[in-house]
């Protein structure tokens, strides 16, 4: 890269930083936000083509942040330092969202809960089942991944769920899983499994408050849909 090109890159980065500081994330396009991250990891290269290529490859800014490190590392021109920079931004965002969930009773803080779940699960390439265990005041006792599965299935074993709830002395739980297809519409298998789980938990006085299915297009609450 010649001196003139270096000056152009430097000027572009300076303008990006100024726009971000004045207007926040809303002042930048998604690829420009990704540019800001990549600038920290790749200081002497024009990263705009790389940022645009990543979003084109993975589908969205959120999907880039949520991508597996091995998949990011396989993208041409993206080294370990850049992968760490991208994943650290995702980790920071999830840490903040998780803190919002932990600090208040879950059922009275539903917007924060759904935002957290969307961030942590929506863009996963494989189906994952997560359990949020609650105490008698609906405060979060534990937020745990029960299982990781294939692109369209992750197992749920009621006996394991009940056992873990008893270990934690939880009085209620929220079941969550994602649909990698992006469509959060529950399947008949989802409905049957949820009713079986709710019955098993109910026998021991553990309430299943909800089952939330997460997809890139949104979420479906079994409770809101009258399925639970």
CATH of the domain at 153: 3.40.140.10
Per-residue pLDDT of the chain (228 residues; tens, 9 = 90+): 544 455 456 667 788 888 888 888 888 899 999 999 998 888 878 899 999 999 999 988 888 998 889 999 999 999 999 999 999 998 888 788 777 777 677 777 888 888 889 988 888 888 999 999 999 988 889 999 988 765 556 678 889 999 999 999 999 999 999 999 889 999 999 999 999 999 999 999 999 999 999 998 899 999 999 998
Beta-strand (E) ranges in 101-200?
Answer: 128-134, 140-148, 172-178
Do 177 and 154 form a contact (C-beta atoms < 8 A)? Answer: yes
Asked if 75 and 113 sit in the same domain, the reply is no
Pick left, alpha or beta for residue 138 (phi over 0 → left; psi -120 to 50 → alpha; otherwise beta): left
Asked if the structure places residue 227 within a domain, the reply is no
Residue 127, burial from CB neighbour count under 10 angstroms (0-12, 13-18, 19+): buried
Which of 63, 94, 125 finishes a domain?
Answer: 94
C-alpha span between 197 and 131 (Å, rounded): 12
Is 226 a member of any domain? no
- Look up tokens 């803190």; give the residue: 99
Total tally of structural domains belonging to the chain: 2
- Does residue 15 form part of some domain? yes
Domain end: 39, 66, 94, which one?
A: 94
Question: What is the side-by-side strand order in the sheet with 140-148?
Answer: 140-148, 128-134, 172-178, 207-215, 218-221
Is 101 inside a domain boundary? Answer: no
pLDDT tens sequence across 72-129? 999 999 999 999 999 999 888 878 877 777 767 777 788 888 888 998 888 888 899 9
Q: Are 58 and 13 found together in one domain?
A: yes
Tally of CA atoms within 13 A in the half-sphere of 162 that contains its CB? 14
pLDDT value of residue 106:
77
Helix (H, G, I), strand (E, B) or coil at 23: helix
Which residue has tokens 């690829």? 31
E strand segments, the chain: 128-134, 140-148, 172-178, 207-215, 218-221
The length of the chain, given as a count of residues: 228
Same structural domain, 25 and 127: no
Residues 89 and 134 in one domain: no
pLDDT at 4: 47
pLDDT of residue 196: 92
Instruction: Give residue 196's domain range.
Output: 106-221
pLDDT tens per residue, range 158-167 = 899 999 999 9
Residues 90 and 114 in one domain: no
Same domain, 58 and 119: no
Residues 85 and 110 in one domain: no
> Do both 154 and 49 map to the same domain?
no
């Amino acid at each position: 890269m010649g001196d003139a090109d270096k000056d152009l890159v430097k000027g572009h980065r300076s303008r990006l930083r100024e726009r971000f500081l004045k207007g926040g994330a809303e002042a930048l396009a998604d690829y420009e936000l990704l540019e800001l991250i990549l600038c920290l990891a790749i200081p002497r290269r024009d990263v705009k083509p790389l940022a645009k290529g990543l979003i084109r490859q993975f589908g969205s800014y959120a999907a880039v942040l949520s991508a597996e490190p091995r998949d990011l590392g396989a993208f041409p021109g993206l080294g370990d330092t850049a992968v760490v920079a991208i994943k650290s931004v995702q980790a920071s965002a999830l840490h903040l969202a998780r803190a919002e969930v932990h600090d208040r009773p879950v059922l009275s803080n539903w917007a924060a809960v759904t935002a957290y779940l969307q961030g942590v699960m929506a863009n996963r390439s494989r189906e994952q089942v997560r359990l949020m265990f609650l105490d008698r005041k609906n405060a979060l006792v534990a937020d745990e991944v029960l299982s990781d599965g294939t692109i369209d299935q992750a197992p749920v074993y009621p006996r394991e769920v009940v056992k873990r709830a008893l270990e934690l002395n939880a009085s209620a739980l929220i079941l969550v899983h994602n649909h990698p297809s992006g469509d959060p519409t529950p399947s008949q298998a989802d409905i049957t499994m949820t009713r079986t789980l709710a019955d098993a938990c109910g026998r021991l006085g553990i309430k299943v408050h909800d089952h939330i299915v997460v997809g890139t297009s949104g979420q479906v609450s079994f409770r809101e849909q009258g399925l639970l």
